[in-house]
Amino acid sequence: MIQLLLLAAVAASCLAEDLPPSCEKPVYCDSELLHHVQTSSVFPDSKTFVDLHMLADPETILEEFDQLLNETNNNPTKEQLQRFVESNFDSEGELEDWTPHDFSDNPKFLLGIRDEELRQYAKDIHNIWPTLGRRIKSAVFEKPERFSLIPVPNGFIIPGGRFKEIYYWDTYWIIEGLLIGGMNETARGMIENLIELLRKVGHIPNGSRWYYQERSQPPLLSAMMSLYIRETKDIKFLKDNIDALQEELNYWLDSQIITFDKGNSTHTLLRYYAPSKGPRPESYREDYNGALRYTADERKQEFYIDLKSAAESGWDFSSRWFIGDDGKNGGNLTNIHTQDIIPVDLNAIFANALQNMAYFEGILKRPRRGSHWAYLAQQWRSNIEAVFWNEQDGVWYDYDMVHGTHRKYFYPSNVAPLWMGAVDKKLVVKHSARVLEYLEKSHGLDFPGGVPSSLIRSGEQWDFPNAWPPLVSIVVNALEALGSEEGKKVAFDVAQTWVRACRKGFVENKQMFEKYDAEQPGKVGGGGEYVVQFGFGWSNGVVLEFLTKYGRQMTATDATSYSTPHEIESKENVYTIDTKESRR
């Protein structure tokens, strides 16, 4: 531990001068213009400014802004800044609406949903996809230097609301929903877009904006490819892109890996770590004001890195990343220490990615390469068990490197190794009853509106009472992976509770939300840095996942009931449905 702390101190001392900016586009990432516009609150949402495009070349705009600074003694008023932005930037010209060619308003999967109300709900959700379709306008390709948007070749599905671009981990659940609806071409185009981002940036960034350049998100590219290949058997597409999948894994192995001691053993795993200079451009004002409590520049930079690293996790923000002086997860953003935590879900996702690579190389008949990835996957699974498994509580916890302890709090990520198949089969059997007992004792599955992100009411959006679709999907698939009848029953109950809650919200609001309130079924979630967003890509995908998986027995209300899954399997059924237990 002493060695770890010394290394952290040395790193902090050289942060200010050695860190790169958030991206290579100064206007959006590292300029006086950015600082003045954002700290003066020209726009209520910091993301608005960095999503505008320039009406002139960036050099010209920066020169003109320097003139404004000289004329105002480096202190332009908010009104002067507003006029400057209005003269030099525009919000139009990036994207245009796009309807996927493979969209059908009567997809086959609806036949597998018995309940008429749920079948109609599934159809309504499926019909949202065209409203979220976008493609890049030609102006972005012609003058890319004037845009924060990174051009990609294919039309795509956006999450919704303020999120008008591609987001990395959102895309996994969006693709799942697209494949369920038979939109294979659109799903392939989404994967191709991520690979294009990988080739341009060197890794897949948090989102398809340049200001996300120096951070990524959970590495689910190979899992997306696995979904696509299992559905389409498109081996040529896999062969054409296998090198990109390898490049993505090598990025994480090169940049996010860390070696640390736990007990008498040394382990190597991944953490979220996004070192770059200054606040996040899209949340500049919030980050800058948050850092004012610190006097030392080095501490400010550490704070910015921890914020960006949490954003890289997708959980921005959560008590999951808070470490108080007592080592507990109380407090607020003052206590954020993301880079000191080894996350169980990140490493489960990566173990799965390694195993996927072994599987892909086997399909392509390259056994030597496959053996390499299979060996790494086994090493990762072993480290997951050694570092994260808590024998006393019977679950996997994040690990705090500084205090050398498990983070013994309820988060849906605690069961991510099961979701990602990152637990050896014998250990799944061994741990099954313990995991179910943990979940029951935690009461995390007891809420009428879904599984909350945590049981900590911190005010952050990835904490109680917010329930997020991807986390509910993780829990349901983890329970299924236990392989026991009890696990499958609890999985069904969690999925049905979620679908009913989301449907209630949809009936009342005609909208799908990005997050929900676990205490009040169908109500929007709260907290965080922005108002709740509508759309919503991963929310649609998860509902469709559950309705496809359980459509033969799930009901909209308790008034209707169908046979149990076991009874259904034992007799002939006129409905057709994808019967894969897992779509990974």
* 261-320 per-position pLDDT tens digit: 998 999 999 999 999 999 999 999 999 999 999 999 999 999 999 999 999 999 999 999
In a domain, 104, yes or no: no
CA–CA distance, 149 with 216 (Å, rounded to integer): 16
Per-residue pLDDT averaged across 472-496, rounded?
A: 98
pLDDT at 206: 98
Query: Tokens at residue 59, please?
Result: 């050099």
Tell whether 556 is covered by a domain.
Answer: no
pLDDT tens, residue by residue, 15-24: 556 899 999 9
Check whether 13 has a pLDDT greater than 80: no
Do the domain assignments include residue 50? yes
Active centre residues (catalytic)? 316, 514
Residue 574 pLDDT greater than 80, yes or no: no
Q: Please tell me the total count of domains within the chain.
A: 1
pLDDT at residue 28 above 50?
A: yes
3-class state of residue 345 by DSSP = helix
Assigned token pair, 318: 């959560």
Query: Around Cβ 178, how many Cβ atoms within 10 Å?
Result: 31
User: Does 75 reside within a domain?
Assistant: yes
pTM: 0.93
545 CB-near residues (< 8 Å, 6+ apart): 173, 176, 177, 180, 473, 583
pLDDT in tens, 84-123: 999 999 998 899 999 999 999 999 999 999 999 999 999 9
Range of the domain at 70: 39-90
Q: Are 474 and 419 in contact (CB under 8 A)?
A: yes
Tell me, yes or no, whether 436 lies in a domain: no
Residue 80 lies in a domain: yes
Q: Could you tell me if residue 54 is inside a domain?
A: yes
How deeply is 1 buried, as exposed, middle or buried, from its count of CB atoms within 10 A (0-12, 13-18, 19+)? exposed
Q: What is the mean pLDDT of residues 333-356?
A: 98
For 233-249, the pLDDT digits (tens) are 999 999 999 999 999 99
Has residue 17 been placed in a domain? no
